[in-house]
C-alpha cells in the first residue's frame, strides 16, 4: 500500500506481497480494493473492528480481484469502507472519513468511500467497490468518477463480505472512461443482447422532478450532447406506484437481508456501531415477514415494469444523485435526509437489478455532479461504449 496516504483512503494494514502478471491488458495500472474482498496475505475487516478481529489472514484472493491481478494490474492496498457497508456517507466511526479528492470540503459518499477517495486523489488508477443501495454510484457522483452498478450477478462477489445478497453488486471507479473500459474488458464478458449504437433515449420525467432546478441546469450541457448523439428522448415514467412505495419496499428488502447477514454478529457481540449505522440495523431488525413478502412481490412487479419500458434498445438518462456531495460539516440528520432522498432515485436500478453507469460530466458550485445511463439487464458493456462516445462528443 502507499507509504503516503494523505487522503486516508486505505486501511493501514502491514503491507503484504501480492503477485500480479508482468504483462496483460491492465499492465501499468494500479488499483485499490474495498475491504470487503478477500486478498491473500491480508485480513478482511468490513469497516468493523469486530469483523476485523475475527477475520484472520486470508489464504485465498477473491476471484474478481485475482482476475485483475492476472490481467497485469498491481494492487496498491485495501480501501476503507463504511461500517459493515451499511452507509452512504463515507464516514466510518472507527476508521475515519476518507477525503474527497475532487471536493475536499465535501463527503466522499459511501460505503465505497476509500475506493472513490483513492481514485479521485490520484493514489491509484482504478478501484473496486460494491453497490447495494448506491455505494458505487453515490461516491462516483460526489468524487467526479465513472462508476458502474452492474447487472446483478454479472461480476462475481465470491469471497467478499455480504450486506444484502439479492441487491449486492461489484462495481469499480476510474477517472477516465478509457481506463474504466479497460477494466470492463477484464471483468465483463460480452453483453448477451448488446444495445444498438443509437439506442432509444428515454427521459424519466418523474426522476428529473426529484432534483432542484439548479441541478437540472448544471446537467443541461451533457444532456444536450447525449441528444446530439442519439436523438431527442422520449418522456416516460420510471416509478411504479410512487417513489415512496419504491423507497419503502427497497428498504424492507435491504433491511431484512442486512439483518440476516449481520444480525447474528450484532446480537452476540453488541459492537458499538457508528451514528446512522446503529439506527439502520435497529430498523432492519424489526422488518416483519409480511413486509418482506410484500417487498419481494413489489420488486418482481417493478422489474417487469422497467424491463417492458426499456425493451431491448431503451436507455434512461437521469441524474445520478439529487445534488452534489453534502459538506463534511453537515449534521447527521441532514445527511440522513439526503440519503433518503437519494434512495428514491438509486432504488430504480437496485430493485430491478439492471445496470446503471454514472459519468462525471458536470459540476455545480465547483463540485462534481454525475449523469447516469441505465439500461436493460445485461447491457453493461454497451452502456460503457455509449459513455465513451459521449465523452468523445464533449
Q: Is 144 left (phi over 0), alpha (psi -120 to 50) or beta?
A: left
At residue 140, does pLDDT exceed 70?
yes
Say what the pLDDT of residue 394 is: 77
**Unique residue bearing C-alpha cell 453483453:** 191
**How far is Cα 49 from Cα 43, in angstroms, rounded to an integer?**
11
Tell me: the pLDDT tens digits for 213-230? 999 999 999 999 999 999
At residue 154, does pLDDT exceed 80?
yes
The answer to whether residues 258 and 281 touch, using CB atoms and an 8 Å cutoff, is yes
Say what the pLDDT of residue 22 is: 96
Single out the residue of 18, 83, 107, 54 nearest to residue 269, CA to CA.
Answer: 54
At residue 391, does pLDDT exceed 80?
yes
- Mean of pLDDT values over 123-133: 98
CA angle at 284 for the pair 279 and 289, rounded to the nearest 5°: 155
Tell me: the pLDDT tens digits for 325-341? 999 999 989 998 999 99
Res. 3 pLDDT band, cuts 50 70 90: low
Q: Residue 111, preceding bond cis, omega within 30 degrees?
A: yes
Tell me: the pLDDT tens digits for 76-104? 999 999 999 999 999 999 999 999 999 99
- Mean of pLDDT values over 243-265: 98
Tell me: the pLDDT tens digits for 259-285? 999 999 999 999 999 999 999 999 999
**How far is Cα 46 from Cα 160, in angstroms, rounded to an integer?**
9
Say what the pLDDT of residue 316 is: 98
Average pLDDT, the chain: 97
**Any bridge partners for residue 149, and if so which?**
356
Q: Annotated catalytic sites, by residue?
A: 34, 111, 135
At residue 386, does pLDDT exceed 80?
yes
The answer to whether residues 250 and 166 touch, using CB atoms and an 8 Å cutoff, is no
CATH of 200-242+288-393, one of 3.90.1300.10, 3.40.50.620, 3.40.50.300, 3.60.70.12: 3.90.1300.10
Say what the pLDDT of residue 1 is: 43
Report the CATH superfamily, name and number, of domain 30-187: Amidase signature (AS) domain (3.90.1300.10)
- Mean of pLDDT values over 340-348: 96
**Unique residue bearing C-alpha cell 439500461:** 375
Strand stretches in 308-365, DSSP E: 314-319, 356-364
Tell me: the pLDDT tens digits for 280-299? 999 999 999 999 999 999 99
Q: Is 146 left (phi over 0), alpha (psi -120 to 50) or beta?
A: beta
Tell me: the pLDDT tens digits for 5-58? 999 999 999 999 999 999 999 999 999 999 999 999 999 999 999 999 999 999
Counting residues of the chain whose pLDDT is more than 90, the rounded percentage is 98
Q: Residue by residue, what is the 3-state secondary structure of 146-196?
A: EEEECCCCCCCCCCECCCCCCCCEEEEEECCHHHHHHHHHHHCCCCCCCCC
For the chain, residues classed under CATH 3.90.1300.10 are 30-187, 200-242+288-393
Q: Is 194 left (phi over 0), alpha (psi -120 to 50) or beta?
A: beta
**Unique residue bearing C-alpha cell 454479472:** 154
- Using the 8-state DSSP alphabet, how is residue 123 labeled? S
The count of C-alpha atoms lying within 13 angstroms of the C-alpha of 246, restricted to the half-sphere facing its C-beta, is 27
Res. 2 pLDDT band, cuts 50 70 90: very low
**Any bridge partners for residue 107, and if so which?**
none
Amino acid at each position: 500500500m502507499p507509504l503516503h496516504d494523505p487522503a486516508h483512503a486505505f486501511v493501514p494494514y502491514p503491507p503484504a506481497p501480492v503477485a500480479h502478471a508482468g504483462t496483460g491488458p491492465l499492465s501499468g495500472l494500479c488499483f485499490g480494493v474495498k475491504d470487503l474482498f478477500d486478498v491473500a496475505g491480508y485480513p478482511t475487516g468490513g469497516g468493523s473492528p469486530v469483523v476485523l478481529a475475527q477475520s484472520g489472514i486470508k489464504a485465498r484472493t477473491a476471484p474478481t480481484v485475482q482476475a485483475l491481478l492476472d490481467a497485469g494490474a498491481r494492487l496498491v492496498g485495501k480501501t476503507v469502507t463504511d461500517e459493515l457497508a451499511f452507509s452512504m456517507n463515507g464516514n466510518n466511526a472507527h476508521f475515519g472519513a476518507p477525503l474527497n479528492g475532487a471536493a475536499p470540503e465535501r463527503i466522499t459518499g459511501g460505503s465505497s468511500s476509500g475506493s472513490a477517495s483513492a481514485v479521485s486523489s490520484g493514489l491509484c488508477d482504478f478501484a473496486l467497490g460494491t453497490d447495494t443501495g448506491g455505494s458505487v454510484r453515490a461516491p462516483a457522483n460526489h468524487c467526479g468518477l465513472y462508476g458502474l452498478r452492474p447487472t446483478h450477478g454479472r461480476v462475481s462477489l465470491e469471497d467478499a463480505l455480504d450486506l444484502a445478497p439479492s441487491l449486492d453488486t461489484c462495481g469499480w471507479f476510474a477517472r477516465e472512461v478509457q481506463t474504466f473500459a479497460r477494466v470492463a474488458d477484464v471483468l465483463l464478458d460480452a453483453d448477451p443482447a448488446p444495445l444498438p449504437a443509437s439506442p432509444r433515449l428515454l427521459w424519466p420525467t418523474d426522476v428529473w422532478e426529484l432534483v432542484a432546478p439548479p441541478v437540472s441546469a448544471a446537467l443541461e450541457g451533457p444532456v444536450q450532447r447525449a441528444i446530439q448523439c442519439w436523438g431527442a428522448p422520449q418522456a416516460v415514467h420510471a416509478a411504479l406506484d410512487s417513489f415512496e412505495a419504491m423507497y419503502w419496499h427497497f428498504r424492507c428488502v435491504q433491511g431484512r437481508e442486512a439483518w440476516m447477514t449481520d444480525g447474528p454478529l450484532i446480537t452476540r457481540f453488541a459492537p458499538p456501531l457508528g451514528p446512522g449505522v446503529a439506527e439502520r440495523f435497529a430498523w432492519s431488525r424489526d422488518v416483519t415477514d409480511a413486509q418482506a413478502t410484500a417487498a419481494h412481490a413489489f420488486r418482481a412487479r417493478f422489474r417487469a415494469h422497467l424491463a417492458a419500458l426499456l425493451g431491448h434498445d431503451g436507455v434512461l438518462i437521469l441524474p445520478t444523485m439529487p445534488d452534489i456531495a453534502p459538506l463534511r460539516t453537515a449534521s447527521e440528520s441532514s445527511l440522513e435526509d439526503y440519503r433518503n432522498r437519494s434512495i428514491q432515485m438509486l432504488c430504480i436500478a437496485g430493485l430491478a437489478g439492471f445496470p446503471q453507469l454514472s459519468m462525471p460530466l458536470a459540476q455545480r458550485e465547483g463540485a462534481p455532479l454525475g449523469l447516469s445511463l441505465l439500461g436493460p439487464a445485461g447491457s453493461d458493456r454497451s452502456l460503457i461504449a455509449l459513455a465513451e462516445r459521449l465523452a468523445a462528443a464533449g
